[in-house]
Amino acid sequence: MSDYKVKILEITNVTHDVRILKLEKPKGFSFTPGQAADVAINKPDYVEQKRPFTFTGLNDWDYLEFIIKIYNDHNGVTKEIGNLKAGDELIISDPWGSIQYKGEGIFIAGGAGVTPFIAIIRNLNSENKIGNNKLIFGNKMESDIILKDEFEKMLNKNFRNILSDEKVEGYANGFITEEFLKSFVDDFNKTFYICGPPSMMEALEKQLANLKVDASAIVKEEF
């Protein structure tokens, strides 16, 4: 595995606790949409602290992009990423990861677990291959939804939000249930792509098994 030092070109806010980092792209660097890299901050106290983040841009962009949720409640790496500025450096590994597009299906994400699907759905959109792919995006509050407008544009009616901690008109409320899945998914003989925190993944895998989705039809990554 190689390591690459890359300069941060720009940092912008996408929600109250999520940042978009635009980075220099090493010459010849390429990844498959859905893949991540081990990332460290190039500062003495942080170079050894690697954390995985997903490439959310497209391979033909001339820069790399990460979309990173900042956890300010403890002194981890993301808190320090929240303090970085353009000109600071990250060290990134070669790409790796288990999420890859395997055909039309249903993407189900919780919070920052949507990042692998950002790259995949953007890539499908750029190739005019969105088809009947669907995205279910679970968040606590409406203000937590990452790239809502872009997903609405790309997926239209095939984008469904569910909020666990807030009742807002036009959004489903609560956690994802089998009933909720049945109300949105017309064909369970498709590939299911799931990515989110462990508790959500566990619940979803049980629900999908009850709905007769074969484990081999599930592509997953735990965040």
Binding mask 19-58 for ligand FAD (x = CB under 6 A): -----------------x--------------xxxx----
CA distance 17 to 54: 17
Among 168, 169, 170, 194, CA closest to 181 = 194
Among 25, 69, 134, 160, binds ligand FAD (CB under 6 A): 69
Among 78, 93, 126, 164, binds ligand FAD (CB under 6 A): 78
Q: CB-wise, 50 or 190, nearer to ligand FAD?
A: 50
Q: The sheet that has 89-93: what strands, in order across it?
A: 51-54, 36-41, 89-93, 3-15, 18-24, 63-69
Q: Is 97 in the site for ligand FAD (CB under 6 A)?
A: yes
DSSP-derived secondary structure letter, 96 = B
Q: Is 179 in the site for ligand FAD (CB under 6 A)?
A: no
Greatest pairwise CA separation for the chain in angstroms = 52
Q: What SS3 class is residue 162?
A: strand
Q: CB-wise, 52 or 174, nearer to ligand FAD?
A: 52
Nearest approach, Cβ of residue 18 and ligand FAD (Å): 7
Inter-CA distances, 53 with 65, 85, 154, 183, 212, Å: 10, 18, 23, 32, 32
Phi, psi dihedral angles at 76 (to 5 degrees): -95, -170
Q: Using CB positions, name the residue nearest to ligand FAD.
A: 76
Among 27, 74, 85, 157, binds ligand FAD (CB under 6 A): 74
Q: CB-wise, 105 or 116, nearer to ligand FAD?
A: 116
Stretch that binds ligand FAD, among 65-73, 127-135, 137-145, 179-187 (CB under 6 A): 65-73
Q: Is 65 in the site for ligand FAD (CB under 6 A)?
A: no
Q: Is 125 in the site for ligand FAD (CB under 6 A)?
A: no
Nearest approach, Cβ of residue 68 and ligand FAD (Å): 4
Token readout for 65 is: 């992009």
Q: Is 76 in the site for ligand FAD (CB under 6 A)?
A: yes
38-61 CB burial, b ≥16 within 10 A, e <16:
bbbbeeeebeeebbebbbbbeeee
Q: CB-wise, 51 or 148, nearer to ligand FAD?
A: 51
Q: How many CA within 13 A on the CB side of residue 185?
A: 24
Q: Which parts of this chain interact with ligand FAD (CB under 6 A)?
A: 36, 51-54, 66-69, 71, 73-74, 76-79, 97, 112, 115, 221, 223
